[in-house]
Amino acid sequence: MNTRRILPQIVLVLTAFAWITSTQGAHHGATPEAKLAELGIELPTPATSIANYVGATRTGNLVFLSGHLPKRTDGSFVTGKLGANATIEEGYKAAGLSAIGLLATLKNEIGSLSKVKRIVKVFGMVNATGDFTGHSQVINGCSDLLVDVFGEKGRHARAASGFSSLPLGAIVEIEIIVEVE
């Protein structure tokens, strides 16, 4: 047997197999709801608006979600100011809580998270001092969760900006735009 001829074919088959199996991870075949369950996340009842606006507006195949504050399971909000009395890790976790609230509102609006074609845009607002520069690291708490739940469909355009204050003293506020079926 001539291994010089067979070896390139074996490498090609193994490379193809590795590519196929790597693209069949948790995001292929598993619903976003199943992925949330895997992560130990239960979506809360969608929050009610605290002013004169709605949590989600759909136009065509786009859903615009209003800014969501990081709400704990006990109903309280995560408050604080990055660069003063809160750490990047606390902000990151709070951004994840905002993402969970956003997903709850989205599911309520469209019925099933399996209808999501793509997370289009995330706009993250960080309650921060003027010299704080870690806004992107904080909003990664939201972005990372969206990618964990939706895989490539969760990758999105994004802005992360600092504000001198946010509603109710919240540490972050995040809004998203989603393309749906």
Residue ranges of domains in the chain: 1-29, 31-180
What confidence tens digit (pLDDT) does each residue in 2-32 have?
555 554 454 444 444 444 334 444 445 699 9
Token reading at 66: 């209003």
pLDDT reported for residue 29: 66
Query: In the predicted model, what is the mean pLDDT of residues 83-95?
Result: 98
Token reading at 147: 């990618």
* pLDDT band per the 50, 70, 90 thresholds, residue 172: very high
Q: Which CATH number fits domain 31-180: 3.40.50.300, 3.30.1330.40, 3.40.47.40, 3.40.30.10?
A: 3.30.1330.40
Would the pLDDT of 1 be above 80?
Answer: no
Which amino acid type is present at position 130?
A: G
- What is the model's pTM? 0.84
pLDDT reported for residue 47: 81
pLDDT reported for residue 16: 42
What confidence tens digit (pLDDT) does each residue in 108-149 have?
999 999 999 999 999 999 999 999 999 999 999 999 999 999
Query: In the predicted model, what is the mean pLDDT of residues 26-51?
Result: 87
- Cross-sheet strand order for the sheet of 157-163: 56-59, 62-68, 172-180, 116-127, 157-163
Whole-number Å distance between alpha carbons of 29 and 39 = 16
Percentage of residues in the chain with pLDDT exceeding 70?
A: 84
pLDDT reported for residue 24: 40
| CA R_g for the chain | 20
Q: Which one has a higher pLDDT value, 6 or 102?
A: 102
Work out the mean pLDDT of the chain and round it to a whole number: 89
